[in-house]
Amino acid sequence: MATDITEESSLGEINKYDFVTPTTAVFKAEKGINAEIVAQISEMKNEPGWMRDFRLEAFKIFESKPMPKWGGDISLDFQDIYYYLKPTNEQGKTWDDVPQEIKDTFDKLGIPEAEKKYLAGVKAQFESEVVYGSLQEDLGNKGVIFTDTDTAVREHPELLREYFGKIIPSTDNKFAALNSAVWSGGSFIYVPPGVKIDFPLQAYFRINAEQMGQFERTLIIVDEGAEVHYVEGCTAPMYTTESLHSAVVEVMVKKNGRCRYTTIQNWANNIYNLVTKRAMAYENALMEWVDGNLGSHLTMKYPAVYMMEPGARGEILSIAFSSTGQHQDAGAKVVHCAPNTKSRIISKSISKNGGRSSYRGLCKVEDGATGCKSNVVCDALILDSESRSDTYPYIEVEEQDVQIEHEASVSRIGEEQLFYLMSRGLTEAEASSMIVSGFIEPLIKELPMEYAVEMNRLIELQMEGSVG
Amino acid sequence: MSETLKITDLHVAIEGKLILRGVNLTINRGEIHALMGPNGSGKSTLGNAIMGHPSYEVTGGAIELNGENVLEWDATGRSRAGIFMAFQRPMAIPGVKMADFLRHATTNVRNPERKEGEELIPMRQFRKELTEKMDQLRMDTEFARRYVNDGFSGGEMKRAEILQLAMLRPKFAILDETDSGLDVDAVKLASESIAEIGGEQMGILIITHHDKLLERNTPDFTHVMLGGKLVETGGVELARELYTDGYDRIRTSYPEAAAAEEAMTEVEAV
């Protein structure tokens, strides 16, 4: 098959660029975590002293922090996890090692060959390397930096250090501390003042690091008047060998800047997906999170926007789909720290076949933040009597002159709606599927076209029960 | 042989409460039947039972389409066999565009053997037909892009139901108060449209309180429902009498059914 030849030659190409450094090749990862392993990770990456100290400090915090008391039931043995995947392993992984069920799902989704391999963690397709190269050149001319975070530590230390761990300090929560101690990969983006990138930057193009690792660390800095849309993930099930995914994403949007961060993730059913995402938006800046969560055993994720200066806006659109053995504890946080700031949260969840979805959201208005507006809408759709949905809205307002709206609705897929559609010749399955796709339409229309198509297809597959 | 929807001694209960107590009605394709009766007498229940609403339990009797047992089919099967109901209060399906919904529905009804995931009617062909039908009903093309019944006014809902009737071209159609909530002009338009769509092609059961819908769709038969039974059948003159004089004569003539009606309404009031 032609693709096999491509694979051979692309691996050759990769070796030419010397992606594997000799030190990493001999690194022996051990299960479990202690200060020594944390130091070792830093050493393997040839990191500067400050990053090593940052990691060790974070590890101490991790040890001292209790498990989160909210959300789902986390039964993880921290000593039974690899915290740094051996790059040698990664490089050696081939298409043949990918489980058949994952390949089948890719086929059903109609994902192109190159993307399939990328998604399954098979690195380095020649085609995307070329795309990435020309993209880099174009962006580079505008002063945009788009690289993996490990590279950024080496090549842009001052810039990175100014913001790294400042938006989400290691002390924030146990899993942010864990990530800070053992992070690897993730994206680093800097957009200079006034630069507007008119196409979405996709993690897909950035192929030279373990960007889909367990503990990725992403930092985006949008300078004054700049704009960027970053897209990560994909609707295909993410395949990893480990049971914990714990990322940290920090975003800084300066005066008049705009940032949209779109995530669509579909994890395997054994994964704990515990992610901390937070953005700070300054004067008249706009931060938007678009967040789609499917799969996983437990997801806890509440993208946050802190509106730091007058006129800042935060918008969060999230969707969760949970099925058998899955608990999606997802939501959003908006914190109004300055006057005349505005936020909007739209959250949609679907529970099916015994799945559980929870909306957990915080709307906070600090003292003195007058004239703020916040609008929260969360809708849950429950497809059968075994499934469950909960809403936990937290509202903390320390200011009188504000306008806060919260609407929540929970609906079972209505017998009346089903009957109506069936009376027009649709089967019960087609009718349910149509109701669900209508329910998530507000999110789908915010996605880039190719993601919208895949997301719709994935929901259809979920409804047929043939995935996951 | 003409096609027939035949209802025999139909008994229907909702949540264990008996609503229909032996309805007999035969509709041939090409005929127009008017169904009248006071509120709560069971008219909509008959419609829902024919269409196969799962909450309406058939406790006795039969519904047959050309001799086949309709009760064995779910609503999907009934629709694909050519039965249609224009609802009094159609459900909103937020996020689903009228055009997408109608394309699915039309494909399924025209190819009853279609399996899920199989090809839909080609987009161009479908669009052309939909646009023509919408023109006839004087509906703005923007309508096709709106979400099914979501935020529709009463009049828009009824027109959307007639549009579906026009696209699906059923053998038998039940129109449940398709004239209610419409202004005079809208009823006139609806009435003309139904006459145009129906013609010799359909057997129609029109549930109504008014005369407007019947002006252009002169009923061959008028039935009066009281206390869950069809107590009297006549021609168009019976319809005229009822919307002019009301149901007092009927109640007096059929004391047993009137008593049943009273009992049913009392339970509702509690």
What ranges do the domains of chain B cover? 4-269
| Tokens 């997906």 found at | A273
Residue A5 confidence (pLDDT): 33
Q: How many domains does chain A have?
A: 1
Could you write out the DSSP letters of every residue in B106-131? Answer: HHHHHSTTPPTTSPPSPHHHHHHHHH
Q: What is the number of other CB atoms lying within 10 angstroms of the CB of residue B117?
A: 9
- Across the interface, of A417, A425, A434, the residue whose CB is closest to B109 is A425
Query: Residue A82 belongs to what domain range?
Result: 2-464
What lies within 8 Å, CB to CB, of B248 at 6+ separation is: none
> What DSSP string runs through A90-126?
HHH--GGGS-HHHHHHHHHHT--HHHHHHHTT----H
Query: Residues of A at the B interface (Cβ-Cβ below 8 Å)?
Result: 414-417, 419-430, 434-435, 437-442
Is A434 close to B53, i.e. CB distance below 8 A?
no
User: B73 CB near a chain A CB, below 8 Å?
Assistant: no
A334-366 pLDDT, tens digit per residue, is 999 999 999 999 999 999 989 999 999 999 999
> ipTM for the complex?
0.95
Which residues in chain B are closer than 8 Å to A422, comparing Cβ atoms? 52, 74-76, 79
- The CA distance from A456 to the nearest CA of chain B, in Å, is 13
Interface probe for B, chosen from A419, A430, A445 (most Cβ of B below 10 Å), is: A419
Residues of A in contact with B88 (CB under 8 A): none
| pLDDT score at A234 | 53
Residue-level pLDDT at B270:
44
Question: What proportion of chain A, given as a percentage, has pLDDT over 70?
Answer: 76
Digitized pLDDT (tens) for each residue of chain B, 270 residues in all: 579 999 999 999 999 999 999 999 999 999 999 999 998 899 999 999 999 999 999 999 999 999 999 999 999 999 999 999 999 999 999 999 999 999 999 999 998 888 877 889 999 999 999 999 999 888 898 999 999 999 998 889 999 999 999 999 999 999 999 888 788 888 888 888 888 888 778 999 999 887 777 888 889 999 999 999 999 999 999 999 998 899 999 999 999 999 988 888 775 544
Quickly state the pLDDT bin for A300 (edges 50, 70, 90).
very high
Q: B164–A414: do the CB atoms touch at under 8 Å?
A: no
- Give pLDDT, residue B117: 74
Across the interface, which of B53, B104, B147 has its CB nearest the CB of A426? Answer: B104
Q: How many CB pairs under 8 A join A and B?
A: 84
- Per the CB < 8 Å rule, is B75 touching A423? yes
Interface contact B21, partner A, CB < 8 A:
no
Beta carbons within 8 Å of A34's beta carbon, 6+ residues apart: none
In chain B, which among 165-194 make CB contacts under 8 A with chain A? 168
Q: What is the mean pLDDT of residues A139-168?
A: 92
B79: nearest CB among A422, A429, A437? A422
Give the CATH architecture of domain B4-269. Answer: 3-Layer(aba) Sandwich (3.40)
Which pLDDT band holds residue A22 (cuts at 50, 70, 90)? very low
Across A62-85, average pLDDT: 82
- The per-residue pLDDT for range A189-246, each reduced to its tens digit, is 999 999 999 888 876 543 333 334 578 899 999 999 999 999 886 544 555 555 788 9
Query: Exposure pattern of B169-201 as b/e (b: 16+ CB <10 Å)?
Result: bbbbbbbbbbbbbbeeebbbbbbebbbebbeee
pLDDT beyond 60 at A437: yes
Give the pLDDT of residue B47: 97
For A232, the token pair is 């990560």
Nearest to A434 among B76, B78, B96 (CB): B96
Using CB atoms, pick whichever of A416, A422, A435 lies closest to residue B74.
A422
- pLDDT score for A95: 59
Cβ neighbours for B129, distance < 8 A, ≥ 6 positions apart: B167
List all residues 6 or more positions away from B178 whose beta carbon is below 8 Å from its beta carbon.
B86, B88, B158, B161, B162, B190, B194, B206, B208, B213
Q: What is the pTM for the complete model shown?
A: 0.76
Query: Given an 8 Å threshold on Cβ–Cβ distance, is B93 in contact with A419?
Result: no
CA-based nearest distance B108→chain A, Å: 6
Residues in B touching A442 (Cβ below 8 Å):
95
The segment with the largest mean pLDDT, out of A30-39, A165-174, B107-116, B241-250, is A165-174
Question: Binning pLDDT at 50, 70 and 90, where does residue A134 land?
Answer: low
Start-end of H helices in A387-448: 415-422, 428-444
d(CA A7, CA A16): 14
Return the pLDDT at B192: 87
Q: Do A425 and B147 touch (CB under 8 A)?
A: no
The rounded radius of gyration (Å) of the Cα atoms in chain A is: 22
Residue A450 predicted with pLDDT over 80: no
Residue B19 or residue A112, greater confidence: B19
Euclidean distance between CA atoms A206 and B79, whole angstroms = 51
Q: Which residue of A has its CA nearest to B84?
A: A423
A356 and A394 in contact (C-beta within 8 Å)? no
**Of A9-23, A31-45, B112-126, minimum mean pLDDT range:** A9-23
Question: Angle formed by the axes of helices A35-44 and A174-182, to 10°?
Answer: 50
pLDDT of A457 reads 72
Give the pLDDT of residue A1: 33
* A36 φ/ψ angles, rounded to the nearest 5 degrees: -65, -45
Name the residue facing A441 among B95, B101, B164 (closest C-beta): B95
The whole-angstrom distance between A105's CA and the closest CA on chain B is: 17
Which tops the pLDDT comparison, A120 or A276? A276
The alpha carbon of residue B226 is apart from the nearest alpha carbon of chain A, in Å, by: 26
Q: What pLDDT score does A69 carry?
A: 82
Are A441 and B109 an interchain contact pair (Cβ–Cβ within 8 Å)? no
Q: Is A84 helix (H, G, I), strand (E, B) or coil?
A: coil
What does the mean pLDDT of chain A come to? 80
The answer to whether the Cβ–Cβ distance between A424 and B101 falls below 8 Å is yes
Closest in B53, B84, B116 to A429, CB measured: B116
> What confidence tier does A466 reach under pLDDT thresholds 50, 70, 90?
very low
**Which of these ranges, A283-287, A463-467, B112-116, B249-253, has the smallest mean pLDDT?**
A463-467
Q: Is residue A445 predicted with pLDDT exceeding 50? A: yes
